[in-house]
Chain A
Amino acid sequence: MAETLFEARDLSRIFEPARGALQQLSDRITGKQPAVVRAVDKVTLSVVEGETLGIVGESGCGKSTLARMITGILPVSGGERRYRGEDYVSFLARKRDALKVQMVFQDPMSSLNPRLKVGEIIGEAAALHRVVPRARVRDHVVEMLERVGLPADTITRYPHQFSGGQRQRIGIARALAVKPELLVCDEAVAALDVSVQAQIINLLMDIRQDSGLSMIFISHDLGLIRHLCDRVAVMYLGRVVELARTEELFANPVHPYTQMLLAGMPRISVERRAFMPIVGEIPSPLHPPSGCHFHPRCSSASGHCSRIRPELSEWTPGHMQACINAG
Chain B
Amino acid sequence: MNRAALTEFAGRFGESRIGVASLAVTLTFLICALLAPLISPTDPYDLSRLQLIDALKPMGSHQVVPGEEFRASFAVEDGVAVAQGDAHGLAAQSCGDACLEVRLDAETPLASLQVRTLPAGASVEGASKHPVQNWWTVNTPAGNSVRIVSDAPLPETFNFSVIARSDDQPTDLVFHLGTDGFGRDMLSAILYGIRISVFVGVVAAGSAMVIGTGLGLFAAWRGGATDALIMRAVDFMLSFPAILVGLAILAVLGSGVGKVILAVVLVQWCYYARTSRSLALSELNKEYVEAARGLRLPAWRIMARHVLPNCMPQIIVLFTLNIAAAISLESSLSFLGVGLPLTQPSLGMLIANGYEYIFSQKYWISFGPGIVLLVMIVAMNLLGDRLRDVTNPRFER
Contacts and interface: CB of A to CB of B under 8 A. Distances in A.
B309 A115 contact: yes
Interface string A243-273: 0000000000000000000000000000000
Interface in B264-296: 286-288, 290-296
A71 B228 CA distance: 29
A268 B286 CA distance: 39
Nearest to A117: B2
Interface residues of B, number: 20
Nearest to A184: B294
B137 to A, nearest CB: 81
B306 interface: yes
B291 A178 contact: no
A54 interface: no
Contacts of A101: 294
B286 A110 contact: yes
Interface stretch (A124-132, A276-284, A313-321): A124-132
A102 B293 CA distance: 10
Nearest to B287: A111
A95 B287 contact: no
B297 interface: yes
Contacts of A99: 295-296
B296 A103 contact: no
B294 A73 contact: yes
Contact of A103 (B1, B291, B301, B306): B291
Interface in A147-178: 158, 160, 171, 174-175, 178
Contact of B294 (A102, A106, A107, A113): A102
B310 interface: yes
Contacts of B287: 105-107, 110-111
A174 B294 CA distance: 11
Contacts, number: 62
Contacts of B296: 92, 95-96, 98-99, 125, 129
Interface in B310-343: 310
| Chain B contact residues, majority secondary structure | helix
B290 A73 contact: yes
A68 interface: yes
A73 B284 CA distance: 12
Most chain A CB inside 10 Å of its own CB: which residue of B5, B287, B293, B305:
B287
Interface string B1-40: 1100100000000000000000000000000000000000
B309 A125 contact: no
A112 interface: yes
B294 A72 contact: yes
Contacts of A103: 290-291, 294
B295 A125 contact: yes
Given A110-B287, A110-B288, A178 B228 contact: no
B291 A171 contact: yes
Given A21-B228, A158-B2, A111 B295 contact: no
Contacts of A85: none
Contacts of A71: 294
A277 B297 CA distance: 47
A105 B290 contact: yes
B288 A113 contact: yes
Contacts of A111: 286-288, 290-291
B88 to A, nearest CB: 77
Contacts of A115: 1, 306, 309-310
A149 B310 CA distance: 28
Contacts of B5: 158, 160
Contacts of B286: 110-111
A291 interface: no
A99 B1 CA distance: 29
Given A110-B286, A111-B290, A113-B306, 16 more contacts: A21-B228, A72-B294, A73-B290, A98-B296, A99-B296, A103-B290, A112-B288, A112-B291, A114-B310, A115-B309, A124-B297, A124-B305, A128-B297, A128-B301, A158-B2, A178-B295
27 contacts: A21-B228, A72-B294, A73-B290, A73-B294, A92-B296, A99-B295, A102-B295, A103-B294, A110-B286, A110-B288, A111-B287, A111-B288, A111-B290, A111-B291, A115-B306, A116-B305, A124-B295, A124-B297, A124-B305, A125-B295, A125-B296, A125-B297, A128-B297, A128-B301, A158-B5, A174-B291, A178-B295
